[in-house]
Amino acid sequence: MKQITKYILLQFLLLLSVSLLAQDKISVESFELLPQDLTANIEGTSRFDPNTRKNAALIKIETTQKGFVFEGGSLGFVGDPEYKTGEIWLYVPDGAKKITLKHETLGVLRNHYYGVPIQSGKTYLMKLSTAEVITTSHDYEHMKDIEVTVIPANAQLFINGGVEKLNNGKISKTLSLGTHTYRASALNYHTQSGKFEITDSVQSPKLSIILKPAFGYLNVNGSPETDGGELYIDGQRVGKLPMSQQILKSGKHKVEVFKKLYHTYVEEIEMKDSVTISLMPTLEPNCAEYEFLVVGDNNAQIFDNGELLGAGYWSGKLEAGEHTIEARKISHSPSVKKIVVEKDVNQRVVLSRPEPITGTLEIKTVPSNAKVYIDGSVIESGRTDYINSQLLIGPHRVKLVLPGHKPEEFDVEIEEGKPVRKSLILTDYCDATINSEPNANIYIDGIYMGKTPYKIKNRVAGNYKVEISAHGYTTYSKTLHLDGTTEDMTIKLRRNYVRPSEFYMQVGGNYGGIIGINAGLGGHINNVNMEANFVLGFIESDKIYWTNTIYESIPYVATYKPLGGNFKLGYGFRLHRRIRTTLQVGTQYILLMESVENSYNDNYYSDMKIANGAYTMGLTFGARLNFVLAPWLGLSITPEYILPVYKSPGFEVLSGHSEKIKNYSEGFNCNVGLNIFF
């Protein structure tokens, strides 16, 4: 028993002992390109560098040690390191040259140059040689979860030299009993490091790390004269005044406020941790009131040091100093004045109007007397042969129009002292463009010319009959007069919902002698109509009492419904682009369906259905009125008269006993239907 006790005590002492620290040494054993390794270019393991817009290079650092911190100089790294089994994957940008490795126990290997060019999308292998790291022993048989909270939440946390991934500033980690180290850092905060111990006595260990700010806040308050001023801190533009709660790193800073018409405000401040500094800058005016007037030209633009102020007249404040004032106008020589503005010395400056710069344009035509348009405006008394020596320099668009001839248009560039001369022969051909909505066939004087848009080219001046037609639209017809001034035109065709040839399905109700439903198919081919319908009656006839010569004492009662159909021929007439009437004649066949009322002896009465299947045939005369709601949908109303041609004996007998049955075979009917066109 004593031996066991001694063994347990020895194990406990070993768990609490501290081993020797390793030598402070890190070295690179080798660094080489892995030409066959495509890890840096394979989807899923590659990383895109947004700065170079290329895939980053990958360095696989072969080491069994943990707790390294890497620095990549001015180029940095692309994302965070990835920790693999026996390797650390580090993504670096194209052109990277050196790396710094830091370890809490092994020390620092500073500014180690790779020695080979780092290229995007390539994979490299770095083998590290380090001294052995022997750390404080821990009781790994007993583990506990520790909750760590870091403020601010975007801080970087290292535990025992290894980087930890925080979730909103928090992490839960399982560690062994014993002593552990931590280090936390964040931008604009002081780095904090230390140790914490996990023992059996603490049930739910927690560690809270609150980093001390290494910054303060700057408020630059505004006033009527400073509002809108540009705020610069240490030479960098921050924004416009007023500015509040601007985070500023602890230390000395230069604050400047720039605003037009004012002297620059400058102040040196020293920011301290967590301190708020409020400034109320005052700006001293540095300007004068000025008026500028361009004599004789309200359209001339006024510029101050190249900045547009207005046209014809301007008044306002100018900043003290030298100014170049110009009155400008296209194709004119500017008038220029240089002035020196003194603070609070107000003045009125008169500018002479810009002087036009002109050149000469000469135009000759055969035949002559063509009207001249320049830049869209007709020149008063401007007829060819034409000469103008006062035309402003620059580009101009010239158009010549002579009735009965093709108009001519061209561009000219007028220069000072270089006359432009044009000679043209006007042809007696005319052009025009005809378009339509939708595109359609076009006929000129009855001859098919093609599809719209259609350009009439090189036509002799005169009158032409133009027709534009498209399937489903009303044909457009017009007499077009070509004389060289005819403008292009676009015709919007009106949709014709009633087409000479079309097919339809219909379903509807039947009213009159037969009350029920019908459904059918029909169509028009060049306005000739054919239609077939199925008819089913809903309303029963009057009751008919039947007796049998053998069983006279047992009569039976029967009622009848009509079932049949019709076939019609007709011809359609278009009344409107949405309305058509079709005159129809046809033949109709109606069959009677018998229903026996005495159901207590069906077998007996089934033998007595002597009128079941009685029928009649007749002629129909009617007019179908169709209303088109859409290219595929319409309504129809068809009143018609039925003239009986033949009645079977049973139907003849029944007609004499029921007026309703008689109406099945003759009289007026009306059908109202819903039509679907295709």
Write out pLDDT tens, residues 109-129.
Answer: 899 888 888 999 999 999 887
Secondary structure (3-state) at 585 = strand
Burial environment of residue 107 by CB neighbours within 10 A (0 to 12, 13 to 18, 19 or more): middle
DSSP state of 212: P
CB count in 10 Å sphere of residue 497: 24
pLDDT in the model for residue 393: 93
Strand-pairing partners, residue 573, are: 581
Largest alpha-carbon pair distance within the chain?
138
Q: Which of 550, 548, 573, 678 is nearest to 623 (CA)?
A: 573
Decide: residue 247, CB within 10 A, 0-12 exposed, 13-18 middle, 19+ buried.
exposed
Mean pLDDT for the stretch of residues 672-676: 95
With a CB cutoff of 8 Å and minimum separation 6, the contacts of 267 are 254, 255, 279, 281
CA atoms within 13 A on the CB side of 171: 18
Is the model's pLDDT at 14 over the cut of 80?
no
Q: Report how far residue 371's alpha carbon sits from residue 381's, in angstroms, rounded to the nearest whole number.
A: 8
Q: How confident is the model at residue 309 (pLDDT cuts 50, 70, 90)?
A: very high
Locate 614 and state its tokens.
């009685």
CA atoms of 159 and 194, how far apart (whole Å):
10
Distance, in Å, from the CA atom of 308 to the CA atom of 353, rounded to the nearest integer, reads 16
What distance in Å separates the CA atoms of residue 583 and residue 640, rounded to the nearest whole number? 10
Place of tokens 């063509």: 370
Write the DSSP symbol of residue 600: G
Is 502-677 the same fold as 288-356? no
**Backbone angles phi and psi of 4, in degrees to 5:** -65, -40
DSSP 213: B
The CB density around residue 154, as the number of other CB atoms within 10 Å, is 12
Q: What is the DSSP string of 459-488?
A: EESEEEEEEEE-TTBPPEEEEEEESS-PPP
pLDDT tens digits for 494-504? 888 888 889 99
Is residue 15's pLDDT more than 60? no
How far is it, in rounded angstroms, from Cα 567 to Cα 176? 97
- In eight-state DSSP terms, residue 15 is H
Architecture of domain 502-677: Beta Barrel (2.40)
The answer to whether 302 and 335 are in contact (CB under 8 A) is no
**Is 21:105 a contact under the CB 8 Å cutoff?**
yes
What topology is assigned to 358-425 in CATH?
Immunoglobulin-like (2.60.40)
CA dihedral 487, 492, 498, 499 (to 10 degrees): 60
- The two beta strands, 332-333 and 313-319, are unpaired
The H or E element spanning position 185 is strand 170-185
CATH node for 429-492: 2.60.40.1120
- The token pair at 599 is 């159901």
93-97, 129-133, 512-516, 632-636, range with the lowest pLDDT: 129-133
Strand (E) positions, 186-250? 192-198, 206-210, 215-220, 230-233, 236-240, 243-249
425 close to 400: Cβ distance less than 8 angstroms: no
Q: Whole-model pTM?
A: 0.40
The pLDDT assigned to 140 comes to 55
Helix (H, G, I), strand (E, B) or coil at 163: strand
* 120 token code pair: 């995007």
Note the pLDDT of residue 546: 72
Q: What residues pair up with 349 in beta bridges, in sequence order?
A: 292
Half-sphere exposure at residue 70, Cβ-oriented, CA atoms within 13 angstroms: 21
Contact 637, 666 (CB under 8 A): no
In the numeric block, which tokens belong to residue 54? 């290329």
d(CA 341, CA 343): 7
> Cα separation of 195 and 178, whole Å?
10
Helix (H) or strand (E) holding 309: strand 307-311
pLDDT for 7: 39
Q: Tokens 């089994």 correspond to what residue?
A: 85
Is residue 161 within 8 Å of 130, Cβ to Cβ? no
* Least reliable range by pLDDT among 6-15, 235-244, 258-267, 340-349: 6-15
Instruction: Please provide the CATH number assigned to the domain covering 139-210.
Output: 2.60.40.1120
What is the mean predicted confidence (pLDDT) over 126-146? 69
Higher pLDDT residue, 557 or 591?
Answer: 591
Which CATH superfamily does the domain covering 288-356 fall into? Carboxypeptidase-like, regulatory domain (2.60.40.1120)
Structure token digits, residue 103:
């370890």
Q: Determine the average pLDDT of the residues in 154-167.
A: 88
Task: Tell me the CATH architecture of domain 215-279.
Answer: Sandwich (2.60)
DSSP symbols for 342-397: -TT--EEEEEPPPEE-EEEEEEEEES---EEEETTEEEEEEESSEEEEEEESEEEE
Write the pLDDT tens digit of every residue in 41-60.
888 889 988 888 889 999 99
DSSP state of 601: G
Cβ 565 vs Cβ 533: under 8 Å: yes
Structure confidence by residue, pLDDT tens digits, 609-637 = 557 789 999 999 999 999 999 888 999 99
544 Cβ contact partners less than 8 Å away, ≥ 6 residues apart: 557, 558, 559, 560, 611, 654, 657, 658
Which residue would you say has higher pLDDT here, 551 or 451?
451
Phi-psi region of 41 (alpha: psi -120 to 50; beta: other; left: phi over 0): alpha
Phi, psi of 17 (to 5 degrees): -75, 160
Domain residue spans of the chain: 26-130, 139-210, 215-279, 288-356, 358-425, 429-492, 502-677
Residues paired with residue 562 on neighbouring β-strands, in sequence order:
592
